[in-house]
Amino acid sequence: MKVKENVVLVPSFAVIILLAVNCFPVSVQSVEVVCPPADAYSPCSCFDYAGYSGNILLSCYRSVNDSMASDILDAFINTPGVSPLGGVDFSASQLTRIPHQIKYFSQLKYLNLAFNSLQSIEMDDFSGTQKTLKNLWFQNNQIDTIAPFAFKSESYYRIGLFWNNLTRFESTVFKSVLEKIVTAGGDPLGYIDLGGKV
């Protein structure tokens, strides 16, 4: 994979399917992923999100504070022609709140905000991501408040909330998520891990 002029290219390759008598070559085209200019998301990395063709994974491990995260996400919103943001990793940084821009990424599937200093999760933090967001990681923060209906899921969720300061929350916080898991027959892909505080 190589980056050229803000474009990440995944090389083409041929898949050979062997049948009983004949061989049929199947060509898979290159996937072009367009990131904002590199200085707009420095010191983060922007690359193809494996398994989600055409989506970007933005990785800023140990890199950002609230202001930096806001500026970087604004660059993805305001730069024309940028590929959809499929994943955001702001783990082990200096965040004290969930960036308000998260709700605007309608194809977001993965969000990692673990090992920060978050204190609360508000009702509309993920309002625009309900059909796609599957993985949310908030472990090792200082979260003591989660607003009712904060997690309104139309997709399977894996939510990690262990090692926070939660002592109680309204029953409606996870209502939609739990209903979705039960409707799917208790699918193990969906779970909520509240754990405990170390």
At 25-61, the pLDDT tens digits run 333 344 688 999 999 999 999 999 887 878 999 999 8
Average pLDDT over every residue of 3-31? 37
Q: What is the pLDDT of residue 18?
A: 26
Of 46-50, 65-69, 76-80, 143-147, the least confident: 46-50
What is the SS3 assignment for 18?
strand
What is the average pLDDT across 3-17? 37
Q: Is the pLDDT of residue 5 over 50?
A: no
Q: Which CATH architecture has domain 32-193?
A: Alpha-Beta Horseshoe (3.80)
Reported as a single tens digit per residue, the pLDDT across 132-141 is 998 999 999 9
Q: Where are the domains positioned within the chain?
A: 32-193
Nearest alpha-carbon partner for 139 in 155, 115, 111, 157? 115
Cα gap 58→84, rounded to integer Å: 11
For residue 146, give the nearest of 127, 167, 130, 132 by alpha carbon: 167
- Which pLDDT score, from 0 to 100, does residue 39 have? 95
Q: Determine if the peptide bond prior to 43 is cis (ω within 30°).
A: yes
Alpha carbons 118 and 114: distance in angstroms, whole number: 9
